[in-house]
Amino acid sequence: MDFNVEAIRKDFPILKREVNGKPLIYLDNAATSQTPQQVIDVIVDYYSNYNANIHRGVHALSQEATDAYENARRKIQKHFNAQHPYEIIFTSGTTHSINVVANGFASLLKEGDEVIVSALEHHSNIVPWQMLCEKTGASLKVIPMSLEGELVLSEYDALLNETTKLVFVNHISNALGTINPIKTIIEKAHSVGAAVLVDGAQACPHLKPNVQELDVDFYVCSAHKICGPTGIGMLYGKQEWLKKLPPYQGGGEMISEVTFEKTTYADLPHKFEAGTPNVCGGIAFGAAIDYMNTIGFDAIANYENELLEYATSELLKIEGIKIYGTSKNKTSVISFNIGNIHPYDLGTLLDKMGVAVRTGQHCAQPIMDFYQIPGTVRASFMFYNTKEEIDLFIVALKKSIMMLS
Ligand SMILES: *Cc1c(COP(=O)(O)O)cnc(C)c1O
């Protein structure tokens, strides 16, 4: 069966709009994805019909909102194949999730301990760990990358030892699209007793992770990259870890008993969900997962691979192009530069022609430093993009290059 992209595009109202008098060609999906009507409807329905605070009210609206929120948690649990619903913590997104874990480990690490990061990380999977190291005296080691944009696993082996406590790595690089061999990375970390956090922000739009099969300790993502709203995401943690880590924020909802002498914390997941959560966001996150599953992740992967291959071969016909990130194992993200043209200039001209791409460092300055470049132009594709859009993008790109050279 052919992938019916035209039917899918009808789900996304924003794809009908124009930018600078041209039809929008949205190729900045690695920064945020667009939202289908099915998810927008859920948001409108929530605020129109059952907006309420949750877990505390005895009234009908509060019950309905609580049920919908907890139902979303179970959907997410099933999607990621977590063992228990309370292993899914709602957060404001990937960055928040990583900070919850980094903050928790501050009480578990001491001087002389080591933590390992990869050269391919987003700033949000670097900075919280540097802050953790400063607090605890632990030291940060880096798995280096190759010119193809792959992690050098033999170097990883050399870094691992019994002082390694934690490894954090992304599943897919947002800057280059490389799919990292996280199963191997996790196995090796576990062989020395280290825990692993996988930043799945860039993977979840393209594949369906199975946290039990991966045996990963922590897995994090943001709803806005998988057709959900901003301001909501999740932290999956194995229950033994989540029980061990102290809470991140204190407040309402996360306590069991409060006196001025001592407070005891609530059970999971509430221990990590202080204050009134993003109720509507959580429910819409569940709806986004439903939507993606209706399309199906096998179909998504097949189609996006076609787009990736097509766009790569068309781009390679352009004189002076250099594509960064050439792993055979990559997803639909293409980072490139053309000769000496500054990526920002290309991005600005492309925008004038309705094409949205990302330019700059993509929150991954160490990768840009590795290639000794100020940044790249990044085109990233989702299942609602088309070959026709890629053709128009290439035409716009050629026009921009002419204007700039
Ligand atoms: C987008 C992204 C993040 C940050 O996600 P936020 O939603 O901004 O918290 C982290 N890591 C990767 C790989 C990403 O793609």
Q: Residue ranges per domain, the chain?
A: 5-30+296-404, 40-293
Ligand 1 centroid from CA 137, angstroms: 26
**pLDDT at residue 109, as a whole number:** 96
pTM above 0.95, yes or no: yes
Packing angle of the helix pair 94-105, 127-136 (nearest 10 deg): 10
Query: 285 in helix, strand or coil?
Result: helix
Ligand 1 centroid from CA 220, angstroms: 9
- Residue from 222, 224, 227 whose mutation best tests the ligand 1 pocket (most atoms within 8 A of CB): 222
Task: Measure the CA–CA gap between 116 and 139, rounded to whole angstroms.
Answer: 8
Handedness of CA 24, 26, 27, 32 (dihedral sign): positive
User: Which residue's CA lies nearest to atom 12 of ligand 1?
Assistant: 201
Ligand 1 centroid from CA 169, angstroms: 12
What are the DSSP calls for 29-51, one per residue? TTT-----HHHHHHHHHIIIII-
User: Which residue's CA lies nearest to atom 2 of ligand 1?
Assistant: 201
Ligand 1 pocket, Cβ-based, cut-off 6 angstroms: 93-95, 122, 124-125, 170, 174, 199, 201-202, 222
Counting atoms of ligand 1 from 1, which one is nearest the CA of 122? 11
- Residue from 174, 207, 362, 378 whose mutation best tests the ligand 1 pocket (most atoms within 8 A of CB): 174
294 CB-near residues (< 8 Å, 6+ apart): none
Counting atoms of ligand 1 from 1, which one is nearest the CA of 94? 9
Task: Determine whether 221 is an active site residue.
Answer: no
**pLDDT at residue 252, as a whole number:** 86
Which residue of the set 133, 227, 280, 363 is catalytic? Answer: 363
* CATH hierarchy code of domain 40-293: 3.40.640.10
Counting atoms of ligand 1 from 1, which one is nearest the CA of 97? 9
User: Which residue's CA lies nearest to atom 14 of ligand 1?
Assistant: 201
Task: Measure the CA–CA gap between 71 and 68, rounded to whole angstroms.
Answer: 5
**pLDDT at residue 160, as a whole number:** 98
**pLDDT at residue 57, as a whole number:** 80
**pLDDT at residue 121, as a whole number:** 95
Ligand 1 centroid from CA 64, angstroms: 31
255 CB-near residues (< 8 Å, 6+ apart): 263, 264, 265, 266
* CATH hierarchy code of domain 5-30+296-404: 3.90.1150.10
The shares of helix, strand and coil residues in the chain, as percent rounded to the nearest 5, are 45, 20, 40
- Residue from 182, 202, 285 whose mutation best tests the ligand 1 pocket (most atoms within 8 A of CB): 202
Contact 191, 161 (CB under 8 A): no
154 burial class (0-12, 13-18, 19+ CB within 10 angstroms)? exposed
**pLDDT at residue 335, as a whole number:** 98
Contact 375, 343 (CB under 8 A): yes
Packing angle of the helix pair 279-295, 60-80 (nearest 10 deg): 40
Query: What tokens were used for 121?
Result: 């990380």
**pLDDT at residue 305, as a whole number:** 97
CA atoms within 13 A on the CB side of 325: 29
> Which amino acid belongs to residue 370?
F
Ligand 1 centroid from CA 124, angstroms: 7
The CA-based angle 277-280-282, given to 5 degrees, is: 70
- pLDDT tens, per residue, the chain with 405 residues: 578 999 999 999 999 999 999 999 999 999 999 999 999 999 999 999 999 999 888 899 999 999 999 999 999 999 999 999 999 999 999 999 999 999 999 999 999 999 999 999 999 999 999 999 999 999 999 999 999 999 999 999 999 999 999 999 999 999 999 999 999 999 999 999 999 999 999 999 999 999 999 999 999 999 999 999 999 999 999 999 999 999 998 888 888 999 999 889 889 999 999 999 999 999 999 999 999 999 999 999 999 999 999 999 999 999 999 999 999 999 999 999 999 999 999 999 999 999 999 999 999 999 999 999 999 999 999 999 999 999 999 999 999 999 998
**pLDDT at residue 170, as a whole number:** 97
Question: Residue 220: which H helix or E strand, with range?
Answer: strand 218-222
